[in-house]
Structure 1
Amino acid sequence: MFSNSVIRASSAITPARTRFAPSPTGYLHLGSLRTALFNYLLAKGTGGQFLLRIEDTDKKRTVEGAEEGIFDTLRWAGLQWDEGPLVGGEFGPYRQSERTELHRKHVDILLEEGHAYRCYCAPQRLEALALTRKHSGQSTDYDRHCLNSPPTASAAEPHVVRLKAPVQYPAYHDLVYGTITPGAQSHDHAIGAFEDPILLKSDGMPTYHLANVVDDHFMNITHVLRATEWMPSTPKHVHLYSCFGWKPPKFVHVGLLQDTQGKKLSKRTGDVFISEFREKGYLPEALNNFVALMGWSHAGESDILDIQKLVEQFSIDGLTTGNTKVEFGKLDYLQKQYARNRVMGGSGDKEILDAVEAQVRKRFGEKYLPYLQKLQISLFV
């Protein structure tokens, strides 16, 4: 769809392999769309590939129909993936639940090399430990009670596998935030408190930390672009790459989306799910343009940027630090511009008017006719 002539000089000057990796636990929201869009733009703008991977290892939280909703939403937005479910690819399978054999194989490697250990502690013991430490004002992290369990002993008993966390996780470079150096945990370790995150759950399924690293490596992902809420996890991932002897991808973190009061964007403060914007008749090009401007700046003269222009202009260097307050007035402005463009171009008239009529019917019922012409006119003015 896009020629290599659009490739821009930026922090990503070679073809990027990016991935959007949602969990099928509900509807995609504005933040999800922005993450998918930025990954798509980075890949297309550098002549690379955009992958879709479904992270469905937490079966308790999986919502029926959510996976199909992800496919439908991305296609509606015009963000067709090059590899992933429904389209295939040489680095599949693209559902994490179908890659568990690979994950377990690499857990075994960590166990054999002393980077991880099996933990047989019952939930009751862990709860009592955390409660006791909390009351004494100490860290509630694990005490490594099972650290010296033989690597191959009692593998059939219920257990989890924990990462043996270092005193200090390695520093890493983020292409937006610069060098990030985690603090040392010397004090916690001195009092017998160790983070030691779980890598493999008692049901044999991997946690996010393990599956994320293993799958990104074997899918040849070059850039991990995601929200800053994942920055605290990144040092763990960098450490895991080191344990396996792998070169980590480049990390790109973008700020969170907030309401006008600086709080996390939520249903209480306005629409957040893409399905809600679709139901109200917003056009995909308007919504893409809207979320692209959240946490990214460009050198162009106009903020009206269709997908082709976004691909041409997007650059990691334009991503900004900090969170972004969402102003929905901008979306309405963009909607009018794109609706006008569609009508003037002779395409999409029926789709737009059908959306208008549906919204008027929803608000006014069968008495909608007196309002329809007025609303149609305001859409294009």
Structure 2
Amino acid sequence: MEKRVRFAPSPTGAIHIGNIRTALFNYLFSRSEGAKLILRIEDTDLTRSSKDFEKLIFKELKWLGIEWDEGPDKPGQYGPYRQSERLPIYKKYAEQLINDGKAYRCYCTPEELEEDRKQSVAKGDIPKYSGRCRYLTKEQEEEFIRQGRKPSIRFIIPDDETIVFDDMIKGRIEIKSDTLGGDMIIVKSDGMPTYNFAVVIDDTLMKISHVIRGEDHIYNTPKQLLIYKALGFVPPTFAHAPLILGPDRTKLSKRHGNTYIGQYRELGYLPEAMFNFLSLLSWSPEDNVELMSKEEIIKKFDFNRIHSANPVFDVEKLNWMNEHYIQKSSIERIVDLAIPHLKEAGYIDTVDDNLYKWLKDVVLLFKDGLHYVAEIKDNAKMFFVDEIDYDNQLKGEILKGDAKNVLLSFQKELEGADDISEDAIKTLLKTLQKKIGIKGKAFFMPIRFAITGQDHGPELIKVIPLLGKQKILNRLNKAMNLIS
């Protein structure tokens, strides 16, 4: 039997890190097992689904390097691949369940359902549907229809039954039917199927052999297994991956910072770094190597090595990985990624060949220390602003003693210099140290602080030519005024 897995996101918002990790595990399973990966869009939430979010799903998956074999843009024999285009299919199977006495139409109002919930809570029970519409007479149904009530369709949950399944990650799982909330809605009053119903139909008809998803779906699985059984379908093999946690070991959420994959893409994290990082959340190769290419990860991936412990989303580790991949990248690639951030900061506008060449030299100064490309806005700010703000604490530590003599001497030498290339500045600084008899930190620190506002950074002989003579002279004047 052909192995087939699927990633089935809802286009109701940006893709969460947890969802993209699920997509990645499905992708790695498909490529390591010779299986097919299907992309299915679950867009039956009419009020929240949008084509823009669907396009974003495609964009994020492609950015990360996840390819699929069938989907809305790659038709196969089991389509359509959008749930909104499969409504007649769901209607057929809902009617089948009604005819078989395994489902029924429910005319309950929101107020009646809320009353059921309150009564359950008052008794100390799990909130569940009372089943009041399960045994309606024909006359009662006709009366509800006359009142204008639009029915939903509920699936009958059996009493006191234990649903058992073997999970590829969690092992054997047993769940009592009495904990599932009573007869569940499978088709809403607007005619749209609910998740637990549609997913069973889709996974069966699309011949999905393995369902790999987050462990937050574990309590959906017994509901789905009951529907598989009622329709005479053979269920797939299930695997529920552990949820990703924040640093405080609670479920990753907005309070932990960026939680959507697009936020990291926009900050200038590289897809190969994110692919590498996410693959190691709950999985590790046998050799425990951490830095791996996409091809190496696919080659080493073994689904049996996914563990059940909840991984922590460690931004520092992601930054370390991304820094590694930035270092390995060409300067042109990083400049191209940096340009939108520099434009956003208002530092640059149109980029011609001369500016691009200059930007390459500037970005090269910081490239090996970037955790993500957007940091270039702050790291290289000194090159784009006319004036810099001097830190008062540093000012007191650096602009003292011989500092004014150093700055005045450097100013005179620079004013008379026709050449401020890297080699020329190297010679100028070396000569000046001998001339005034001040060397080391006492010499270099005042100059660095005066022209950059910082007490550390790239080599001065590289910084000075890129800043330009006039900008440096202006800053020297300002720094000396501070001393005065």
Q: Same fold (TM over 0.5)?
A: yes
The residue number in structure 2 matching 1:163 is 155
SS at match of 1:323: coil
Q: Give the Å deviation of 1:90.
A: 1.0
Q: Where in structure 2 are the equivalents of 1:333-344 lying within 5 Å?
A: 333-343=320-330
Q: Give the Å deviation of 1:282.
A: 1.0
SS at match of 1:324: coil
Instruction: Identify the match of residue 128 of structure 2 among 134, 141, 146.
Output: 141
Relative to structure 1, is the Cα distance of residues 26 and 171 closer, same or farther in structure 2, using a 3 angstrom cutoff?
A: same
- CA distance in 1 between counterparts of 2:287 and 2:303 reads 15
The residue number in structure 2 matching 1:178 is 171
Spell out, residue by residue over 1:29-76, the C-alpha distance to the aligned partner (whole angstroms, 9 max, x if none).
Answer: 211111111101111111111110000001112145100000111111
For normalisation by structure 2, the TM-score amounts to: 0.69
**Does 1:215 pair with 2:202?**
yes
**Does 1:350 pair with 2:350?**
no
SS at match of 1:41: helix
Q: Give the Å deviation of 1:128.
A: 2.2
SS at match of 2:176: coil
Q: Give the Å deviation of 1:360.
A: 5.1
Contact 1:15/1:43 (8 A) holds in 2 = no
- CA distance in 2 between counterparts of 1:317 and 1:341 reads 31
- CA distance in 2 between counterparts of 1:150 and 1:19 reads 42
Q: Which moved more, 1:331-340 or 1:65-74?
A: 331-340
Larger Rg: 2
Contact 1:360/1:371 (8 A) holds in 2 = no
Structure 2: runs of 5 or more not aligned: 349-357, 372-457, 459-484
SS at match of 2:224: helix
Relative to structure 1, is the Cα distance of residues 326 and 363 closer, same or farther in structure 2, using a 3 angstrom cutoff?
A: farther
Paired residue type of 1:158: K
Contact 1:254/1:322 (8 A) holds in 2 = no
Paired residue type of 2:35: G
Q: Where in structure 2 are the equivalents of 1:112-151 lying within 5 Å?
A: 112-149=99-136
Contact 1:117/1:151 (8 A) holds in 2 = no
- CA distance in 2 between counterparts of 1:139 and 1:302 reads 46
Instruction: Identify the match of residue 22 of structure 2 among 28, 35, 38.
Output: 35
Contact 1:213/1:241 (8 A) holds in 2 = yes
- CA distance in 1 between counterparts of 2:177 and 2:190 reads 32
Using CA pairs below 8 Å that are at least 6 residues apart, which structure has the higher relative contact order? 1
Q: Give the Å deviation of 1:376.
A: 2.1
Paired residue type of 1:175: M
Instruction: Identify the match of residue 265 of structure 2 among 258, 266, 278.
Output: 278
The residue number in structure 1 matching 2:75 is 88
Contact 2:284/2:306 (8 A) holds in 1 = yes
SS at match of 1:38: helix
Q: How big is the alpha-carbon RMSD for the aligned residues of Structure 1 and Structure 2?
A: 2.6
- CA distance in 2 between counterparts of 1:41 and 1:352 reads 28
SS at match of 1:263: coil
Q: What is the number of residues matched between the two proteins?
A: 357
Contact 1:93/1:99 (8 A) holds in 2 = yes
Relative to structure 1, is the Cα distance of residues 268 and 361 closer, same or farther in structure 2, using a 3 angstrom cutoff?
A: farther
Contact 1:289/1:305 (8 A) holds in 2 = yes
Q: Give the Å deviation of 1:239.
A: 1.2
Q: Where in structure 2 are the equivalents of 1:174-253 lying within 5 Å?
A: 174-183=167-176, 185=178, 195-253=182-240
- CA distance in 2 between counterparts of 1:89 and 1:64 reads 21
Relative to structure 1, is the Cα distance of residues 143 and 377 closer, same or farther in structure 2, using a 3 angstrom cutoff?
A: closer
Contact 1:16/1:42 (8 A) holds in 2 = no
Contact 1:30/1:273 (8 A) holds in 2 = yes
**Does 1:328 pair with 2:310?**
no
Q: Give the Å deviation of 1:301.
A: 4.5
- CA distance in 2 between counterparts of 1:208 and 1:330 reads 35
Relative to structure 1, is the Cα distance of residues 258 and 61 closer, same or farther in structure 2, using a 3 angstrom cutoff?
A: same
Instruction: Identify the match of residue 31 of structure 2 among 27, 41, 44.
Output: 44
Contact 1:161/1:198 (8 A) holds in 2 = yes
Instruction: Identify the match of residue 290 of structure 1 among 277, 287, 298.
Output: 277
SS at match of 1:118: strand
- CA distance in 2 between counterparts of 1:311 and 1:274 reads 21
**Same amino acid, percent of matched pairs:** 35
Paired residue type of 2:293: D
- CA distance in 2 between counterparts of 1:326 and 1:20 reads 21
Spell out, residue by residue over 1:76-100, the C-alpha distance to the aligned partner (whole angstroms, 9 max, x if none).
Answer: 1111211001121111000001111
Paired residue type of 1:84: G
- CA distance in 2 between counterparts of 1:43 and 1:92 reads 19
Q: Give the Å deviation of 1:19.
A: 0.5
SS at match of 2:186: strand
- CA distance in 1 between counterparts of 2:368 and 2:273 reads 18
The residue number in structure 1 matching 2:441 is none
- CA distance in 2 between counterparts of 1:182 and 1:250 reads 17
**Does 1:316 pair with 2:283?**
no
Q: Give the Å deviation of 1:255.
A: 0.6
Q: Give the Å deviation of 1:334.
A: 1.6
